[in-house]
Amino acid sequence: MNHFHAVDGTLFCEGVALETLADRHGTPLYVYSRAAIEEAFSAYQTALAGHDHLICYAVKANSNLAVLGLLAELGAGFDIVSIGELERVLAAGGDPGKVVFSGVCKNRADMLRALQAGIHCFNVESEAELETLAAVARENDLIAPVSLRVNPDVDARTHPYIATGLKDNKFGIAIDAALPLYNRAADLPGIRPIGLDCHIGSQILAIEPFAEALDHLVRLVDQLQDQGISLQHIDVGGGLGVSYQGETVPAVADYVAALTEPLAGHNLTLILEPGRSIVANGGVLLTRVEYLKPGRHKNFALVDAAMNDLLRPALYGAWQDIVAVAPSQAEATTWDIVGPVCETGDFLGHARELALTSGDILAVMGAGAYGFTMASNYNSRPRPAEILVDLDCSHVVRERESLQQLWAGEATLPGKPR
Ligand code: LLP
């Protein structure tokens, strides 16, 4: 079900009109639907019901405490890539025993904190990281549960910046180097190898690359078994992509079937780390049209959200739908939707057919994933507020940053007047 729906040209999130939220809380404003997020998570749970599994939601997609809290309540585990993400999960009531720690460059302090919190598994990406983790665990009389992230050299057919499973990418351990490293891990005091993982990329719209990667992983698990190393889980990384521009997305049930069938006969828990597919379509970014600047060559609609609020269009050339939240009397024409930041790359959309008047509120759709989490203070712009809608109620789940917060922690030189 679409939880962002229009009634007579007025766009609602569940039972709340988006224009009302923009008027009440100002813009730019992120708005999330509780029902949409829960539904997306439940689709994975339902599809995986017949198989031993753990869904570790990728916190980097949307790390708001309210989002993490509601997923924790539904039984989610979490995929983290920093101590900041771990502390968020704990603050939101998440279970550290269901946390997997990914990332190419964990430092000793990260490792110690995660060991002390009792996370489920470290997804280790290099021999040097494995040795460091072993040392940190030994020094503290702890045992680190470990999975090696292998790089299966599979083409995920996605944007090059978010393809991670090719041998050219910085991620993971070359698959042919994994066997000796597992043997090393099994011998290392302080380390307990329990799993095997990969993550080949994001916004993947075909099942085949996942299946191909899994095939490599299953073969490795069998080889390890032959050498007396038996693992408890296999982790296939991030989830499916989403439809931003009418792309066809495989059904979660088909994707899950493609991942569980090759595991038949293996006594392995399947771990998935979906992020985007849980939250992307559960969120929008609201922005107000400040000025219209029609021209002979181009028409620009200057809006109050910018690349610092939503980076995906500027960084990846990503296309996200932009719609008016209320009916307009204006004539539709073609607009470039651009923000106030001083860069030509600061756009939300090019050549969009919209009927606009200054003061109108627009919604950038599919903004629940990699939206707020990639926001910055560039151009000294406070980051937006975030709202979570639950039926007819809306909750401020993060206040708009204040101007003072922009320079909190900074100082002028001693003795210089302020
Ligand atoms: N696991 C690992 C180890 C990851 O690196 C990622 C995403 C995920 C899971 C979640 O993948 P998903 O289910 O969301 O596809 N900022 C980019 C996306 C970067 C993804 C990075 N890793 C974007 O806005 O498109």
Where do the domains of the chain lie?
A: 4-31+280-406, 34-277
Give the ligand 1 atom nearest the CA of 149.
Answer: 3
Amino acid at position 275, single letter? G
pLDDT at 144: 98
pLDDT at 170: 86
- Which among 44, 60, 81, 157 is the best mutation to test ligand 1's pocket, defined by most ligand atoms within 8 Å of the CB? 60
Mean pLDDT of 236-242: 97
- The overall average pLDDT reported for the chain is 96
pLDDT at 159: 84
| Tokens linked to 14 | 């569940």
Which residue has 């990418």 as its token pair? 169
Nearest residue (CA) to ligand 1, atom 16: 370
> Is a pLDDT exceeding 80 seen at residue 310?
yes
Task: Find, among 288, 280, 281, 282, the residue nearest to 22 by Cα.
Answer: 288
Task: Find, among 168, 137, 150, 258, the residue nearest to 204 by Cα.
Answer: 258
- Are the beta carbons of 12 and 19 closer than 8 angstroms? no
Nearest residue (CA) to ligand 1, atom 11: 238
In whole angstroms, give the CA distance from residue 124 to residue 119.
13
Q: Please indicate whether residue 105 is annotated as part of the active site.
A: no
In whole angstroms, give the CA distance from residue 359 to residue 377.
24
Give the ligand 1 atom nearest the CA of 370.
Answer: 24
Cis peptide bond prior to 28, omega within 30° of 0 = yes
Give the ligand 1 atom nearest the CA of 197.
Answer: 3
Which residue has 């790089």 as its token pair? 151
Task: Identify the band that residue 205 occupies on the pLDDT scale cut at 50, 70 and 90.
Answer: very high
pLDDT at 153: 86
- For 69-113, the pLDDT digits (tens) are 999 999 999 999 999 999 999 999 999 999 999 999 999 999 999
| Tokens linked to 302 | 């200057």
- For 378-393, the pLDDT digits (tens) are 999 999 999 999 999 9
| Tokens linked to 127 | 């021999």
Task: Identify the band that residue 272 occupies on the pLDDT scale cut at 50, 70 and 90.
Answer: very high
CATH topology of domain 4-31+280-406: Lyase, Ornithine Decarboxylase; Chain A, domain 1 (2.40.37)
What b/e sequence results for 149-175 when a residue is b if at least 16 CB atoms lie within 10 Å of its CB, and e otherwise? Answer: bbbbbbebebeeebbbbbeeeebbbeb
> Is a pLDDT exceeding 90 seen at residue 32?
yes
pLDDT at 1: 73
Q: Would you say the CB of residue 275 lies under 6 angstroms from ligand 1?
A: yes
Mean pLDDT of 4-23: 98
Amino acid at position 324, single letter? A
Amino acid at position 205, single letter? L
Give the ligand 1 atom nearest the CA of 278.
Answer: 13
pLDDT at 416: 66
- For 311-324, the pLDDT digits (tens) are 999 999 999 999 99
Distance from CA of residue 339 to its chain's centroid?
24
Count CB-CB contacts under 10 A for residue 197.
24
Task: Identify the band that residue 418 occupies on the pLDDT scale cut at 50, 70 and 90.
Answer: low
Amino acid at position 319, single letter? W
> Is a pLDDT exceeding 90 seen at residue 187?
yes
Q: Would you say the CB of residue 162 lies under 6 angstroms from ligand 1?
A: yes
What b/e sequence results for 399-410 when a residue is b if at least 16 CB atoms lie within 10 Å of its CB, and e otherwise? Answer: ebbeeeeeeeee
pLDDT at 166: 77
| Tokens linked to 399 | 């206040």
pLDDT at 156: 79
pLDDT at 200: 93
3-state SS class at 335: strand
Q: Of 105, 121, 198, 342, which is the active-site residue?
A: 342
In whole angstroms, give the CA distance from residue 348 to residue 235.
34
In whole angstroms, give the CA distance from residue 318 to residue 311.
9
> Is a pLDDT exceeding 70 seen at residue 417?
no
Q: How far is the CA of 35 from the centre of ligand 1 (A)?
A: 22
pLDDT at 207: 96
pLDDT at 162: 78
Q: Would you say the CB of residue 151 lies under 6 angstroms from ligand 1?
A: no
Amino acid at position 322, single letter? I
Mean pLDDT of 16-34: 98
- Are the beta carbons of 384 and 31 closer than 8 angstroms? no
Mean pLDDT of 221-225: 96
In whole angstroms, give the CA distance from residue 102 to residue 147.
10
pTM above 0.85, yes or no: yes
- Are the beta carbons of 96 and 90 closer than 8 angstroms? yes
Q: How far is the CA of 103 from the centre of ligand 1 (A)?
A: 11
Say if strands 191-197 and 99-101 run parallel, antiparallel, or are unpaired.
unpaired
How many CA atoms lie less than 13 Å away from 124 in the CB half-sphere? 25
In whole angstroms, give the CA distance from residue 121 to residue 96.
10
Q: 34-277: which CATH number, 1.10.3720.10, 3.40.50.620, 3.20.20.10, 3.40.50.300?
A: 3.20.20.10
Task: Find, among 208, 273, 196, the residue nearest to 233 by Cα.
Answer: 196
- For 128-176, the pLDDT digits (tens) are 999 999 999 999 999 999 999 999 888 878 888 877 777 788 888 999 9
Amino acid at position 292, single letter? L
How many CA atoms lie less than 13 Å away from 115 in the CB half-sphere? 25
At what angle are helices 65-73 and 34-47 packed, to 10 degrees? 40
Q: How far is the CA of 61 from the centre of ligand 1 (A)?
A: 7
Q: Would you say the CB of residue 88 lies under 6 angstroms from ligand 1?
A: no
Mean pLDDT of 362-369: 98
Q: Would you say the CB of residue 62 lies under 6 angstroms from ligand 1?
A: no
